[in-house]
Chain A
Amino acid sequence: MTETSTGRTAGTATETKKFNIDTVENAAKTPDVELPWAELGLKQNEFDEVVKVLGRRPTGAELAMYSVMWSEHCSYKSSKNHLRQFGEKVTDEMKKDMLVGIGENAGVTNLGDGWAVTFKIESHNSPSFVEPYQGAATGIGGIVRDIISMGARPVAVMDPLRFGAIDHPDTARVMHGAVAGIGGYGNSLGLPNIGGEMVFDSVYQGNPLVNALAVGVMRHEDIRLANASGKGNKVVLFGARTGGDGIGGASVLASESFDDTKPSKRPAVQVGDPFAEKVLIECCLELFKGSLVDGIQDLGAAGISCATSELASNGDGGMEVELTSVLLRDPTLTPGEILMSESQERMMAVVTPENVAAFEAVMHKWAVEHSWLGEVTDTGRLIITWEGDVIVDVDPRTVAHDGPVYDRPYARPEWQDAVQADAFTGSVQDAGRPSAPAELAAAITELVASPNMCDKSWITNQYDRYVGGNTAMAFPDDAGVVRVDEETGLGVALATDANGRYTYLDPYHGAQLALAEAYRNVATSGAVPMAVSDCLNFGSPEDPDVMWQLAEAIRGLSDACMVLGIPVTGGNVSLYNQTGSTPIHPSPVVAVLGKFDDVARRTPSGWKEDGQAIYLLGTTEAELDGSEWSNMRGHLGGLPPKVDLDAERALGEILINASRDGMVDSAHDLSEGGLAAALVESSLRYGVGARVALQDVLDRDGVDLFTALFSETQGRAIVAVPRSEEIRFTDMCTARGFPHLRIGVVDAEGGTLEITGVETMNLESLREAHEATLPKYFG
């Protein structure tokens, strides 16, 4: 408990755990005061380190700063040693188009023609469980501010979601809240939501994953970085006022697992105001246009603590700030609370004295509140005062960059071998595998109606996919596509993927499979994959089993990026996603960004033209472990599908060339649910069916019809080729030595999906089954 010393909020020490005005001078004089470092999430060794760094005990305000900045969420202390691989395993090919790499608010990739694109994916998992609407909403808000901070105009968002069992009573609470929150916030910002994922699995019951991706575009000259340079330049805080919401959210919420015995942490979730954010976006873009800011940083986790220490340590190394200048929503906030507050919709900028008037004019135009907090210095110290009394005097690097780093012990779990030995084929759950025509038709219908494979428009219809007028493709196609330049058609494609079951079975390859699928989705749309952002959702790093999963996933992902030739430009790690001692499936969500010279070349996933030839690219093996089919039958064991990154690259080149040269009218990647799911999805996209015969596939690959339909072998796609392009297309596949087989023909007349050996399926019945699932559970 801190002692009351100087200051105006003097209360009795016994009734409050809040920080009082504890000056540096006071701290030096009272070395033995007990501080609530444990309650703030610091460990004994970490507190000792703070004392060592400062050469005295920290003041209350300093303790607040160190505790949030050294939390797992802000410091990446458990993952840092592993994450280095993303920066180390980089070839010249991968560096070619990287303008800004890992470490800034978001990475920046060169698109050509003077354009650049920035994108990043982040988690907002814990808040979205506690308060789904606000948690999911502020997840969007935070990632969008990261994009603005780079100098870019945000142009689209995506949301990969993972919730508990579809029929669990609590899932509806999270589902309704999170979807409404994403819609309520994102729709109000004028950002189209162009895709995402929705997975239901009981492993996420107490730890839903709400990840948010944002992408923005800018001209090269508009790239902004988070640093405070130039002695005498002014430091300004603008946007929403600072309130009591989200205090300690960074360290408390994100770093502790949920446990029924602890008091409710509901008040720690931030509350979003999308209108304030929309105004902030336009206001910042006007500031950038006028070159009115030298450095800029959004306020997210750890609020002012993070913004001041990061800006200062990335620049000339010094800053002086008067904390009483911060505009407050709640005047009773103490200095520590002001430093820790995670109130949304705030930005901090560095402005040269000659630009102050112009800066204020922009603030006035958009009716955005701002307050000048202090200025940049060259002392190498971050000094924060309270009515002139020094309450923080630190080297900002020690707060922002030199936090603790742990080499957490990790080891392959003892249970891993047993899990991998438990193959689906021949298991109890595999009894009665469908083989008769009627059984196979029923199995396909059951698959496309299952929670993970069903139609997601119940969700996506609550998101605005049109605003901006540049959305060239959105869900349910393989990738979201946004036009960047209206003159040339230059644009980007984005896809996110993860498979927790694959990663549970084999973290190294599971993470690679997530990357491979996102890469394949982008290439299927016709775009050239360029960059990666990842959101690594795992359990507690203090559990050696989980730590091994994390280490393996990072190693797998970084190795795979080298082979595919695309760099990780940013991302986020979310740990402690576990209930009690039960972690979620390791869930590395991987986003891949690709480039179109002209988005008019995009390839949709559905069939349209009668008589076009359908080709299956790639070969099929018996790979049912971890598949949607085995999941539907309640089995999880064995080994995930094999990874073949060279094949993925070869397939990608074929799909990209086919798109660019107009050789295919439709393409759809094969992933969860295998060929069966892809055929149904391509049929239902525009309500145009097909006649398919798989005998050549069965003969060539030595698999049975069930396996051909439900196996999840990677590196495959189906394409629809106009008759006039068939020779050119097959010649290209042959020349590249890529396996391809004509498996059918598009049938615009029949209204059915015919597969030889499977009872003919009526498209309307399939659609009914596909679309009924989410409304059935969520209204």
Chain B
Amino acid sequence: MTELPLIGEAVAAPAQLIGAKIGVVTFPGTLDDRDAVRAIRLAGATAVPLWHADTTLGDVDAVVIPGGFSYGDYLRAGAISRFAPLMARIIDAAHSDARLPVLGICNGFQILTESHLLPGSMIKNDHLKFMCRDQVLRVENNTTDWTRDYAVGQEITVPLKNQDGQYIADEKTLDALEAEGRVVFRYVGFNPNGSRRDIAGISNATGNVVGLMPHPEHAVEAGFGPENGSGTEGLGFFTSVLNKIVGDTK
């Protein structure tokens, strides 16, 4: 496994890592795009800004669809963004033989379900309020492109902040997700939004597309994220995909 630079150290990351390009998509109303860019930079890779109206993905090795309120969540969270020209390219690339790694965070997760890259949907939190808190998650699957640096059963603390975070799907879909090991994260201790089976994040069958409601990109720098734990427990998402890209032995 390639050694990653420590947070806050002003050393250049190894060329191998800097060479890895991870795209970050901005829609009108996207909010956490700069944060995703920072997380990618802190993990050692090069972040590439992508615009929703772009018609090509360029040469990115992976894509992050960040959080926010794209198109104001009007109609339904993610419902309009799903039709962006770039989403068609992302859907194709995710399904292609190369299996482009795609991470959807919060609104990005909602866009992935609206795009049918991931099953199920998000509805309003069961308590009907926006909620911002430090949330403990349990890693249920460490074979996806975005979780290979975690251990199964590992508990991580990352911020959660959303209004429409209640994950729902029919029982058959939920059973299939469980059976196929596609539940990637579960809420621990407290289910903040009424999500079915405490599900916080899921993946597609091939493990290259992962979506979750909490925000790992806000737990990458000590002092600017959760107060519990190291504060950097979300960094593993980005190092995972980097290691996948640069070709570790896993």
Q: Whole-angstrom distance from the CB of A624 to the nearest CB of chain B?
A: 35
Once the chains bind, are A468 and B35 in contact (CB under 8 Å)?
Answer: yes
Please tell me if the beta carbons of B161 and A464 are within 8 angstroms of each other in the complex: yes
A273 near B72: Cβ-Cβ < 8 Å:
yes
Partner of A366 from the list B28, B38, B73, B218 (CB cut-off 8 Å) is B28
B32/A184 in contact, CB under 8 A:
no
Given contacts A188-B29, A468-B35, contact A600 B223 (CB under 8 A): yes
A188 / chain B contacts, CB cutoff of 8 Å: 29, 31, 69, 72-73
| Distance, CA A600 to CA B217, complexed state (A) | 19
Interface presence of B197 (CB below 8 A)? no
The reply on B190 being an interface residue by CB < 8 A is no
> With A and B bound together, what is the CA distance between A278 and B28 in angstroms?
8
- Contact stretch, chosen from B110-118, B127-135, B143-151, B167-175: B127-135
Tell me whether A278 and B161 are in contact (CB under 8 A). Answer: no
- Given A187-B161, A188-B72, A466-B225, does the pair A180, B132 have CB atoms closer than 8 Å? no
- CB-contact partner of A466 in B72, B74, B132, B163, under 8 A: B132
Segment among A209-217, A261-269, A469-477, A651-659 that sits at the interface with chain B: A469-477
A interface bracket (residues with beta carbon within 8 Å of B): 20 to 34
Alpha-carbon distance between A278 and B221 when the two chains are bound, in angstroms? 26
Q: Is A694 an interface residue (CB 8 A)?
A: no
Which of chain B's residues have a CB closer than 8 A to the CB of A599? 223
Question: In the complex, what's the smallest C-beta–C-beta distance from A458 to chain B, in angstroms?
Answer: 9
Query: Nearest chain-B residue to A278 (Cβ)?
Result: B29
CA A615 to CA B221, docked complex, whole Å: 31
Residue of B with least CB distance to A186: B130
Q: Which partner residue on chain B sits nearest A187 by CB separation?
A: B130
Bound together, the chains give a CA A278 to CA B32 distance in angstroms of 12
Contact check, B31 vs A190: say whether CB atoms are below 8 A apart: yes
Beta-carbon contact of B29 and A279 below 8 Å:
yes
User: Do A183 and B161 have beta carbons less than 8 Å apart?
Assistant: no
Instruction: State in angstroms the CA–CA spacing of A366 and B161 once bound together.
Output: 26
Contact with B along A185-221 (1 / 0, CB 8 A): 0011110000000000000000000000000000000
Known contacts: A188-B72, A275-B74. The answer to whether A469 contacts B221 by CB under 8 A is: yes
| Interface check B34, CB cutoff 8 A | yes
Residue pair B132, A275 in contact (C-beta under 8 Å): no
Chain A residue with the shortest CB-CB distance to B53: A365
Q: Is the CB of A462 within 8 A of B218?
A: no
Q: Which residues of the other chain, A, contact B73 by a CB distance below 8 angstroms?
A: 188, 275
Chain A 572-611 interface mask (CB, 8 Å, partner B; 1/0): 0000000000000000000000000001100000000000
- Asked if B215 lies at the interface with its beta carbon under 8 angstroms from chain A, I say yes
A189 and B69 CA atoms in complex are apart in Å by 8
Are B28 and A470 in contact, CB atoms less than 8 angstroms apart? no
B161 touches A466 (CB 8 A): yes
Contacts of B31 in A (CB 8 A): 188-190, 278, 467
17 A-B pairs with C-beta separation under 8 A: A180-B130, A184-B163, A188-B29, A188-B72, A190-B32, A190-B68, A273-B72, A275-B74, A367-B28, A462-B130, A462-B132, A464-B130, A466-B159, A466-B218, A467-B31, A599-B223, A600-B223
Binding site for B on A (CB under 8 A): 180, 183-184, 187-190, 273-276, 278-279, 366-367, 460-472, 483, 486, 599-600, 686
Assuming A275-B71, A460-B132, A464-B130, what are 9 further A-B pairs, CB within 8 angstroms? A183-B129, A184-B130, A188-B69, A278-B69, A367-B28, A462-B131, A464-B132, A469-B34, A469-B221
